[in-house]
Amino acid sequence: MEWNALLGSILTLTGSIFLFLGALGIYRMPDLYNRMQAGTKATTLGTMLTLLGIGVCHTEWLGQVLILIMFIALTNPISSHALARAAHFKGIPLTEKSIVDKLKEEENRLEVK
Amino acid sequence: MDKLPEIILQISVYFVSAGIILSTLRMIKGPSMADRAVALDTFTVISISLIVLIACLSGRVIFLDVGMVYAILSFIGVVAVARYLEGGL
């Protein structure tokens, strides 16, 4: 048995469990911002682990897979940041359990001055 | 014992498919439009993983290019939806 295939498949399994947990957070969390937190961080790590596992499994695909990993690590935070900013400025409320909103405090402080 | 990596890959396909189903449920259920945009973002990132897993299981390298183009297009789409929600488009 080839050991790189076993190592790559175990990495892929770990990454897919992270992807499943991220989607579970998307489904279960009470608020848009909580959902975004769960969905972005867990799926970034899960996608990177899954693609790295495939790259270890098929060593001749490793360059292409590394380009894909770099692209996801660059673009996933940008898109989630744009979505969170749009949701906050559109006025979507936080859930009742949340206790602090630093961006709103900063906006109020700038308006008072 | 020789088949073990392939079996583990098939189990991970099941996990990724369950993730896609959960994010699709949120996309159907989501109360506002921004919720659906967040669910769409997660959905596209998970389906990139599914495309690359299918590439590994079927042994065809062309699916890696498909995943790359899908990643670029989904990023542009999500950023465009976010700008539209903000009112800047």
Domains in chain A, number = 1
Chain length of chain A: 113
Q: What is the per-residue pLDDT across A80-89, written as a single tens digit (0 to 9) for each? A: 999 988 888 8
pTM of the full predicted structure? 0.89
Chain-centroid distance, C-alpha A46: 8
Count of the separate structural domains present in chain B: 1
Range of A83's domain? 3-112
Half-sphere exposure of B82 (CA within 13 A, CB side): 21
Burial class (CB in 10 A: 0-12, 13-18, 19+), B85: buried
ipTM exceeding the 0.85 mark: yes
Find the domain containing B13 and state its range. 4-86
Q: What is the pLDDT of residues A58-97, one digit of tens each?
A: 888 899 999 999 999 999 999 999 998 888 888 888 888 8
The B residues from 22 to 51 touching A (CB cutoff 8 Å) are 22-23, 25-26, 32, 34-35, 37-39, 41-42, 45-46, 48-49
Structure tokens at A40: 């972005």
Nearest residue, CB atoms, B15 vs list A20, A27, A72: A20
